[in-house]
Amino acid sequence: MSVDDRPYQPPKETNPLGIVSFALGLVSFPAACCCGILGVPVPVVGLILGIVGVMDTRKERVFGIIGIVLNAVALMLGVAVIVLAVLGQSGQFDQLLQQINQRK
């Protein structure tokens, strides 16, 4: 069966959950770097929406997959920023750097 013999299949519907997940993934990076605590809940919501959007196989999945990747990276960045901020405030960060420098 050649390409021309296949019956016409309409394009898949757009996935609003995937699009929202993608948008939250884009918003998550500045939120993770600048807004501190907002760097965690925004990507978590984006991850949940992306996963739910990808599970619906009747709709387009590309935005959901991209949203999952963006939100996962932004979540790791947000957690790292919070951990570094807590370590910096408690003085533990300086001790950690000294220990690393002593091992070299």
Q: Is residue 4 part of a domain?
A: no
Q: Is residue 6 part of a domain?
A: no
Buried b or exposed e, range 37-58, using 16+ CB within 10 angstroms: eebbebbeebbebbbebbeeee
pTM: predicted TM-score of the whole model, two decimal places:
0.77
Q: Which domain holds residue 71?
A: 12-103
Count the neighbouring beta carbons within 10 Å of the beta carbon of residue 67: 30
Which residues touch 45 (CB under 8 Å, ≥6 apart)?
Answer: 24
Q: Is residue 57 part of a domain?
A: yes
The total of structural domains in the chain comes to 1
Q: Is residue 3 part of a domain?
A: no
Q: Which residue has the higher pLDDT, 31 or 72?
A: 72
Q: Is residue 38 part of a domain?
A: yes
pLDDT higher than 80, residue 11: no
- pLDDT tens track for 51-100: 999 998 788 889 999 999 999 999 999 998 888 888 777 777 777 778 88
